[in-house]
Structure 1
Amino acid sequence: MGLQPRAVSRDLDWGIPVPLEGAEGKVLYVWFDAPIGYISNTKELLPESWEKWWKSEDTRLIHFIGKDNIVFHCIIFPTILKLEGTYILPDNVPANEFLNLEGDKISTSRNWAVWLNEYLEDFPDKQDTLRYVLTANAPETKDNDFTWKDFQARNNNELVAIYGNFVNRTLVLTQNYFDGKVPVRNELQEIDLQTINELSDIKGNVEKLLDNFKFRDAQKEAMNLARLGNKYLADTEPWKIVKTDKDRVATILNLSLQIAANLSIVFEPFLPFSSEKLRDLLNLETFDWNNLGSIELLKPQLQLKKPVLLFDKIEDSAIEYQVQKLLNTKKKNELSAFKPKDVKSNISYENFEKLDIRVGTVLACQKVPKADKLLQFKIDDGLGGRTIVSGIAQYYPEPEKLIGQQVCFIANLEPRKLKGIVSEGMLLSAEDADGRITLIQPQTTVVNGAEVK
């Protein structure tokens, strides 16, 4: 089928005019000329050296985009560059799918978003938690969803329970058994050699994934190193042999500390703040990615700092606050987007006069047994009283608070039995944009039985 024609102009009163005879009134489609802005931005930033980034054969040009821009970055922009002749072409265009928020499309205009300034106020010193969750949920192959519950679960069950737990156990044991100094590594056993072998593979595994832009899997591989550390401690159980074989415990904790030091390197691309914090705890002043996998990162007798938690649990209350904030946003959006329904067809004034609308005072109000939606009202209508059943229970969870209030009701509606209760009328209410039902009530107290006219 081949490529199909695609319009590159628009009939608009703003934009860059099409520089062709007979194209008066037309402007270039923004995505036809916008990619050139990447070049002009580089030129403005680096006026003396910009060309090497766009024209040098040893430059690798990578475009990180969303799937809705694939056409422009894979066809239109490369075509422009190729036709000009002196520019390099994109080597790869990793395109992500869409990331939604709590099941709905992210939209800044609707305020359906997680704003970074608000996040940092609500979750101070948790920059890396957001980085971790966004990477873990990166929509690399399909649309994905960010939810606050998942955010909490990944922090508590992965960062705290796996990564942070291993680091804290290692540092606390070292503090307790060796006064916080890196112990000397002694003779290695088979389990040590197996662990060292797995550690040595981490660099190649992560680099391969990063080079292929599989950031989500690369972060998983980094977390697998923390899992390896936890398994090593659980299998060797240094706390059980410390009184009988302290040299063996020294070897176990030396290797565990080396794994912790490697964690501070392998997580650097994903969790830079936590990596810096961990290196500070380990008194590791510098790091080199090329040393990833080494078991010589920490020298024997190096004094470590006193253990502190690398990550903190996020409580339910913090998540409930964020969810409620989004629910409030959704309600506000519904209200602002509300459009009244079309007015129903006209009725005659004579038909309207048939309705007898009255005001009465609620004497009693309770939920109807085995009926989640129904409330039973006892109304003083000035005529001896009546019972009305109304399906508004979900909007008035504390029905007893309605006692003493006045309501409006249709008094001459034919009685109807609901859940075995005869309802003698209908309460009048208004439905808001979000579906919430509110009873219609007089602004000031009137006599019971007063007509609404």
Structure 2
Amino acid sequence: MARWLVASAWPYINYVPHLGTIIGSVLSGDVMARYLRSKGEQVLYVSGSDEHGTPIEVEAIKRGITPRQLTDENHEKVKKLFEAWKISFDNYTRTESPVHVEFVRDFYLKVYRNGYIFTQEEELPYCPNCRRFLPDRFVQGQCPKCGYPEAFGDQCPSCGSPLDPKDLINPRCTICGTTPEIRSTKHWYFDLPRFAEKLKKYVEENPRLPSNARNFSLKLLREGLKPRSLTRDVSWGIPAPFPGAEGKTIYVWMEAVLGYISATIEYWRLKGEEEKWREYWFNGARSIFFIGKDNIPFHVIILPALLMASEEGYELPWTVSSTEFLMFEGKKFSKSQRIGVWIDEALEMFPVDYWRYTLLSIRPEVRDTNFTWELFLEKVNADLNDTLGNFIHRTLTFLCRFFDCKVPPEGELTEADRQMLREVERAKEAYDRLLGEIRIQQAVQTVTELARKANKYFNDRQPWRLAASNQEEAATILHVASRVVEALASLLEAFTPTVALEIWRMLKLKPGENLKAGHQVALPKPLFRKVSLKEVEEKAGGGVKVLEEKVTPEDLARLGLKVAKIVEVEEVPGARKLYRIKLDLGGGLIKQTVAGLKTYYRADELLGKLVVVVSNMKPVKLMGLDSEVMILAAEDDGRVAILTPERPVKPGSRIL
């Protein structure tokens, strides 16, 4: 039996990960690990905290602590958060692990001795005040491509362009602000171009690679590979093992990508089985890597090339599941601009399985996907509460009401009953096929669709009506429905493990046990609860959203739609996205609203603007402030635009 290594890209722990990070690598990897285990496969699931590199060192210097103090704190925090998210790692380690440090040094010394590493002199910025070279985040200046004034030496955070630190306009040392000099320094390079033909063959002949990984990698190969820098002039990192490389460390990207191997070694070493790690990297072992698309070059090009360069016979990645980006209400996640939700904040707002289900159901497998609060409400209220939760609760409630909480015998099946049982088998087959192809989003939809069909079956068959007149038929319906509940418990385990365990508890079964006639179940408790837009706004400072529902002309007439003029805009203390806005509705009437527009408009852009408001809404309190009217806005793929009249009109004018 083949061994499976499931690997999630190591999160960089200068900050807590956000929703986009967890869906692309960690949450997706957890689903696959849980699924493979449920099939009886031998699986090892690994990842760890990526803690070296200049962003960590710069942040530590600014805070007056050592990089190790910073990463010790963040590693433990992130590790506990992943546990709270129910991520089932076998080993979540770190790049400061002695096992990792030892392995990386030994690995690169071997590659060096195999003749695939060379040295080269290069010119880099040097700070005479700090007496250090300034790689990557240690130097800032104006981006030569977009003009952004705070670009880093390795990349511009505004336009995303990779940069050479020598190309920055008006460069300065990030730590002290001194203008750097240009000095010569020697670095070690991995001779990546020597593996171009083998890599091309690997990519072209691997049918499991997703199209974004395949196409991007082939594009890089067509353009021609370049040697990759292996070392940096920084103290925080793994000391380079090469002769004459004293004072150099291994570049963070080039050592973190080897962490999957060291994590495997560490796991089995702690188990007292020193050599067992080889079963997961040699002799037909299969590895699945879960990453975001920005990591494709390191996992489809560089990691395979390094494994080849070792000449040890490592199995190359069996496949790499590379997601597109998750956007937040049409924008990139940004800690500095406070755009998005981070995984610690998420758990403070709503239960973990609300997040797991929502993110997995929109997993960006083909294109960039947009997370919105409106979508979150739809997933929780319509899918989880009204579809999955409703069916399971109704089934178990009627079992207890009419059959003393015992599963009745099957009885004679009608065509509708047989069709429902066929739907269960179809769902299981589709689930296996889709997860086998790592199409997680569609696998989630398959489970929800099964619950939707089960609700229709239950409504059409109406066992509550038959319980008095034809108890045998009612018993058969509830027997079939109970088997659907059992199937849902099994199918949900990989996606919403906490909820799945609760379903098994109510069924009084251990996960995977079969439900039989006569088995006693527990009185059900609601699995989910509905979430309101108001609750989201209170907890997250959500933006103005208009949820679609069918209305009559009379309903519209009751809305007091008027034009108002914004006369005052203030930030709300403690709220990331809210403004307190005062509006003139004409005739001396001033009303106040609390609106989530901070992400989309500056205060000066709103002041004096004519807007359309619902003027007769019942006042509510947000962040302790009265909100008396609602500003109407349109949303297009995460971009919000306030509705305004075509030409100037008086405040208070009615919308007809």
Shorter-chain TM-score: what band? Answer: 0.5 to 0.7
- Does 1:260 pair with 2:485? yes
Q: Distance in 1 between matches of 2:372 and 2:606?
A: 29
Aligned with residue 211 of structure 1, among 423, 432, 436: 436
For 1:107-118, what aligned pairs fall within 5 Å after superposition? 107-118=334-345
For 1:116-265, what aligned pairs fall within 5 Å after superposition? 116-123=343-350, 126-265=351-490
**Counterpart in the other structure of 1:5:** 226
**Counterpart in the other structure of 2:512:** 287
**Counterpart in the other structure of 1:94:** 321
**Is the alpha carbon distance of 1:20 and 1:102 closer, same or farther for their aligned partners in structure 2, counting shifts above 3 Å?**
same
Secondary structure of the 1:305 match is coil
- Does 1:319 pair with 2:536? yes
- Report the Cα offset of residue 122 of structure 1: 2.5
Superposed CA offset, 1:317-364 (max 9, x none): 21112441789xxxxxxxxxxxxxxxxxxxxxxxxxxxxxxxxxxxxx
Q: What are the ranges of 5 or more consecutive residues in structure 1 without an aligned counterpart? A: 289-296, 328-368, 376-393, 403-431, 440-453
Aligned with residue 435 of structure 1, among 604, 615, 620: 604
**Counterpart in the other structure of 1:416:** none
Secondary structure of the 2:423 match is helix
Q: Which amino acid aligns with 1:318?
A: E
Aligned with residue 268 of structure 2, among 46, 49, 52: 46
Q: Distance in 2 between matches of 1:17 and 1:285?
A: 49
Aligned with residue 81 of structure 1, among 295, 302, 307: 307
- Report the Cα offset of residue 16 of structure 1: 5.9
Q: Which amino acid aligns with 1:72?
A: F
For 1:332-347, what aligned pairs fall within 5 Å after superposition? none
Q: Which amino acid aligns with 1:117?
A: D
Q: Percent same amino acid at aligned positions?
A: 34
Superposed CA offset, 1:70-90 (max 9, x none): 111101110110121221110
- Does 1:69 pair with 2:295? yes
Q: Distance in 2 between matches of 1:127 and 1:6?
A: 43
Q: What are the ranges of 5 or more consecutive residues in structure 2 without an aligned counterpart? A: 1-221, 545-561, 569-579, 591-600, 609-656
**Is the alpha carbon distance of 1:204 and 1:435 closer, same or farther for their aligned partners in structure 2, counting shifts above 3 Å?**
same
Superposed CA offset, 1:378-415 (max 9, x none): xxxxxxxxxxxxxxxx954269699xxxxxxxxxxxxx
Secondary structure of the 1:105 match is coil
Q: Distance in 2 between matches of 1:65 and 1:250?
A: 48
Secondary structure of the 1:65 match is strand
**Counterpart in the other structure of 2:113:** none
Secondary structure of the 1:100 match is strand
Q: Which amino acid aligns with 2:583?
A: P
- Conservation of the 8 A alpha-carbon contact between 1:18 and 1:24: yes
- Conservation of the 8 A alpha-carbon contact between 2:567 and 2:584: no
- Conservation of the 8 A alpha-carbon contact between 1:395 and 1:436: no
Q: Distance in 2 between matches of 1:370 and 1:65?
A: 48
Q: Distance in 1 between matches of 2:522 and 2:418?
A: 28
Superposed CA offset, 1:44-78 (max 9, x none): 33221453254332421111111011111101110
Q: Distance in 2 between matches of 1:437 and 1:227?
A: 44
Secondary structure of the 1:93 match is strand
**Is the alpha carbon distance of 1:50 and 1:65 closer, same or farther for their aligned partners in structure 2, counting shifts above 3 Å?**
farther
- Conservation of the 8 A alpha-carbon contact between 1:162 and 1:227: yes
- Report the Cα offset of residue 433 of structure 1: 6.4
Q: Which amino acid aligns with 1:157?
A: A
For 1:322-401, what aligned pairs fall within 5 Å after superposition? 322-324=539-541, 372=565, 396-397=582-583
Q: Which amino acid aligns with 1:435?
A: D
**Is the alpha carbon distance of 1:245 and 1:10 closer, same or farther for their aligned partners in structure 2, counting shifts above 3 Å?**
same
Larger Rg: 1
**Is the alpha carbon distance of 1:17 and 1:174 closer, same or farther for their aligned partners in structure 2, counting shifts above 3 Å?**
closer
Q: Distance in 2 between matches of 1:154 and 1:91?
A: 33
- Conservation of the 8 A alpha-carbon contact between 1:135 and 1:215: yes
Q: Which amino acid aligns with 1:75?
A: I
- Conservation of the 8 A alpha-carbon contact between 2:232 and 2:251: no
**Counterpart in the other structure of 1:298:** 515
- Report the Cα offset of residue 250 of structure 1: 0.5
From the two aligned structures, give the one with the greater strand fraction.
2
Aligned with residue 252 of structure 2, among 13, 16, 30: 30
**Counterpart in the other structure of 1:450:** none
- Report the Cα offset of residue 188 of structure 1: 1.4
Secondary structure of the 2:370 match is strand
- Conservation of the 8 A alpha-carbon contact between 2:373 and 2:542: no
- Conservation of the 8 A alpha-carbon contact between 1:395 and 1:437: no
Secondary structure of the 1:314 match is coil
- Conservation of the 8 A alpha-carbon contact between 1:149 and 1:319: no
Q: Which amino acid aligns with 1:44?
A: E
**Is the alpha carbon distance of 1:280 and 1:5 closer, same or farther for their aligned partners in structure 2, counting shifts above 3 Å?**
same
- Conservation of the 8 A alpha-carbon contact between 1:148 and 1:323: no
Q: Which amino acid aligns with 2:517?
A: P
- Report the Cα offset of residue 201 of structure 1: 2.4
**Counterpart in the other structure of 1:443:** none
Aligned-residue CA RMSD in angstroms?
3.2
Q: Which amino acid aligns with 2:537?
A: E
Q: Which amino acid aligns with 1:319?
A: V
Superposed CA offset, 1:182-233 (max 9, x none): 1121111222222222222222211111111111111111112212211221
With normalisation by structure 2, the TM-score equals: 0.48
**Counterpart in the other structure of 1:415:** none
Q: Distance in 2 between matches of 1:371 and 1:171?
A: 52
Secondary structure of the 1:64 match is strand
With normalisation by structure 1, the TM-score equals: 0.67
**Is the alpha carbon distance of 1:9 and 1:248 closer, same or farther for their aligned partners in structure 2, counting shifts above 3 Å?**
same
Aligned residues: 341
- Conservation of the 8 A alpha-carbon contact between 2:399 and 2:405: yes
Superposed CA offset, 1:143-191 (max 9, x none): 1122222111111001111111111221222222212221121111222
Q: Which amino acid aligns with 2:329?
A: E
Q: Distance in 2 between matches of 1:281 and 1:374?
A: 56
**Is the alpha carbon distance of 1:53 and 1:320 closer, same or farther for their aligned partners in structure 2, counting shifts above 3 Å?**
farther
Q: Which amino acid aligns with 1:273?
A: T
- Report the Cα offset of residue 3 of structure 1: 2.9
- Conservation of the 8 A alpha-carbon contact between 1:241 and 1:249: yes
Q: Distance in 1 between matches of 2:543 and 2:268?
A: 42
**Counterpart in the other structure of 1:277:** 502
